[in-house]
Amino acid sequence: MKKRIWIAFLCLIIFGTTFGLPQPSCADETTGGILLTCPSAILMEASTKSVIYEKAPDERRSPASITKIMTAILIFDAIEAGKISLEDEVVTSAYAKSMGGSQVYLEEGEKQTVDTLIKCIMVSSGNDASVAMAEYIAGSESGFVQMMNERAAALGCTNTHFTNPNGLPDPNHYTTAHDMALIMQEAIKNETFLRVESDLSYTIPPTNMTASPRPLQNHHVMLFQEDPTYGYQGAFAGKTGYTDEAHNTLVTAAKRNNVTLICVVLTCDNLDYITDTRSLFDYGFQHFTHHTLK
């Protein structure tokens, strides 16, 4: 009898969760002494998708440019499937050039490689570059958007609907903190995505339409780990977003020791998107570890 009890106890350990012990209740937004300013947020452990903290995680909100994480996933899908390559040249259409908001000022008829356009999207958040790649992969922006929604649904994103590849405002373009964490969790599996995310700056070389190089700067200040004011130790990937409708949005992945955490904050004002993200990461790394039980 004692042997059977001991075996049953071991089975409970083996098949139980292997991340964090114990996990906090997510019902109270002040759990662990955290008091967030942003109205919607989540902190997720990347390998198990364990939710450490959440605040209104399923409320539909405008994502702004963090939309481009899904755009990047589809680009890398196309590369891995052999449909396109990093060396392919993409010609900017008049429609892609017409995008407002954040852009890298591509000219109609300008030729850029896929590799350069990926960096224009992820380093400098180019709305024009996002549409240029969407048209190149799917033949049209609408065709690419359909692919985005199908990919999101396959990842389990039940409260997400995209209408464009760049995050420009639209009443039917929305996501949630939880869904964006799932999208980011998928993105950081890709080595090319991580390589691009390590580029904190990039210079677009001269092209057939522009004689001067164009320097780009990453807007995600937490990725600048040496910055004593805003840098965050272990932050290695992420995307910023801003529109008047969405306010500030931020998705960030950080790793310390053997723990990788994903943080999403939505609809933030001023610099709250940075301070709230920092608070959540500090809480997660201070209170949770990752164990492999055998």
User: Catalytic amino acids?
Assistant: 65, 68, 125
> 179 is written with which tokens?
């869904």
H or E element, residue 229: none
- Please, are residues 241 and 223 in contact by the beta-carbon 8 Å criterion? no
Q: Which residue type does 288 have?
A: F
Q: In this structure, are strands 259-268 and 247-256 parallel, antiparallel, or unpaired?
A: antiparallel
- Please, are residues 276 and 268 in contact by the beta-carbon 8 Å criterion? yes
Residue owning tokens 């210079």: 203
Cα separation, 34 vs 31, whole angstroms: 6
Residue owning tokens 């990842």: 155
Task: Give the residue from 197, 31, 49 showing the smallest Cα distance to 125.
Answer: 197
Phi, psi of 215, rounded to the nearest 5 degrees = -75, 140
Residue owning tokens 């396109």: 84
DSSP per residue, 6-19: HHHHHHHHHHS--B
H or E element, residue 249: strand 247-256
CB atoms within 10 A of CB 51: 16
